[in-house]
Structure 1
């Protein structure tokens, strides 16, 4: 499947108002359940921008227009996350994870989310040469998200109960896995 061209560029402080707008967008708010006020966006994303947090933040652009956000991070940097995830699935040493959103409603349904995910996985593997896996838990009910993961090349890895981002959701999650391709795999 041919994916649209997507570029990832580092999130900048000047992007925070746009990110706040995206977080307030109804479909994003439904699944991310994140405060969108300027203070909350600064509080939660500012430490990464300042280099105080290991999470890498990127704005996804298509044809020069920003449409989404992706976060890439080593799972082991967050011990509480490792502790929650381990009963559901094995967490390979050095594994990464990503979080993502398509903030512009006009960008949905065009393959851009899938392309953004694929670009984020590639970027994660490039920036973390020892990482062999990217694990991505998604609420079972967020079918569009886990379908985009599959179209981007992930496989279904595990299923189990994790704390949902939105407290209205049940704890049922599916974990998808990307594995680094070796040169012989192409």
Structure 2
């Protein structure tokens, strides 16, 4: 497994790559309609409560991660400590799916956010997405039960500082 991972702030220059990744079957399966998701992701570039990053390893961009202030969204995650951040991500490059990259990049990203003072990081994978659930668990997240989100039922997973 290659590493370390680099998390570069996303810019408008990255949008064509994001659009291509969202259209790939392995991303579309869990993120849904590519046009709808592209509109959301590109629109969030101007959202102050959302930080967006391109994930790279050995100089090659291969994924997307967003980290947001939980209080800015009606997430359905219940009461969380002040400063809690939520994350969502996908690996766009098909050759980087599996092989341990998901859990390793999640751990690296979350370790950094916790070190910067976030008390908790939460995420909400589809419970049927076994690869994502396993990657988050390997990155130190624990299952906290099912939640109802605007996108439907999800498995709330938590990692505390």
Question: TM-score under structure 2 normalisation?
Answer: 0.88
Return closer, same or farther for 1:153/1:24 CA change in 2, 3 Å cut-off.
same
SS in 1 for 2:40: helix
Distance in 2 (CA, whole Å) between partners of 1:104 and 1:36 is 19
Matched residues, number: 161
Is 2:79 aligned against 1:112?
A: no
Matches within 5 A, 1:21-32: 21-32=20-31
Q: Deviations over 1:41-100 (max 9, x none)?
A: 3x43344434x432100011111111100000110011x22xx222xxx42222111000
SS in 1 for 2:114: helix
Gaps of 5+ in 2: none
Pairwise CA RMSD: 2.2
Gaps of 5+ in 1: 165-170, 181-186
Distance in 2 (CA, whole Å) between partners of 1:33 and 1:53 is 24
Please, which of 67, 77, 81 is the counterpart of residue 85 of structure 1? 77
Mean CA deviation greater in 114-123 or 5-14: 114-123
1:53 maps to 48
Q: Aligned-pair distance for 1:173? A: 2.2
Question: TM-score under structure 1 normalisation?
Answer: 0.77
Q: Which has the larger radius of gyration?
A: 1
Q: Aligned-pair distance for 1:34? A: 3.8
SS in 2 for 1:140: coil
Return closer, same or farther for 1:163/1:48 CA change in 2, 3 Å cut-off.
closer
Is 2:4 aligned against 1:5?
A: yes
Q: Aligned-pair distance for 1:12? A: 1.6
1:175 maps to 156
